[in-house]
Structure 1
């Protein structure tokens, strides 16, 4: 018998925060492998300037919303959220399915690949890039690997 309450067993909301050593820089790749919950609402991947103080600037907030089948991207600079970007060629996530998401940091943008297919890109709004120092993942997914 595992000691987990009925509330948290299978529907535990994932919370992961990892440091990006030396900050984000071009040619860097972040890989996230995980599985979507069976009844997902949303999950988000955030590139943070400060892993502890959530009020600091955000290099990228990538939010997946299953009821809207939408993926929004935004950044927060000097406390203010900018313009949301929502264009995607297709909605790639399926409840209960595994996925591999790669964030490729390029000079001008972050390119997001899903299972090897380009999903979207997001032009850097925070300069210099190395101010972005942490990766946070939270929501209705189960992480297998973050690298």
Structure 2
């Protein structure tokens, strides 16, 4: 499975968040149940960091922050690819490998909801 997210970063960005979860956010609020999150990416422009994490059984695991470079720039377009491999999610930005995130959930097929929000104009999701 591969997800492609394309967008343009706002001129004065603070953050962008991408979440792959087992239920849509609206359902969570109504049922007061926290969905499992297989991958949460938090792009922080102030710290020039991309934090990765997962939530299982209502509990967040340890966050991962290591990056070789920060590919996002204010006012610039980007193409993010999230590739689901056997043992990890591989994240690429503009064709360059950004990071990996080892699967923490065993039921990857339960991840049916994608949420992208923050300081961007979303142009394509495929």
* TM-score normalised over the length of structure 1: 0.80
Q: What is the alpha-carbon root mean square deviation over aligned residues?
A: 0.8
Q: Give 1:77 deviation, angstroms.
A: 0.3
Higher helix share: 2
- Calculate the TM-score normalised by the size of structure 2: 0.93
Structure 2: distance between partners of 1:119 and 1:67:
18
- CA-to-partner distance for each residue in 1:78-131, whole Å, 9 max, x for gaps? 000001000010011000000000000001000000000000000111112101
Q: Does 1:48 align with 2:21?
A: yes
**Mind listing any 5+ residue stretches in structure 1 that lack a counterpart?**
1-27
Unaligned 5+ segments in structure 2 are none
- 1:72 Cα deviation after fit: 0.2
Match of 1:18 in 2: none
Q: Which residue of 2 aligns with 1:14?
A: none
State how many pairs are aligned. Answer: 120
Larger Rg: 1
| Mapped pair 1:85 → 2:64 | yes
Partner of 1:97: 76
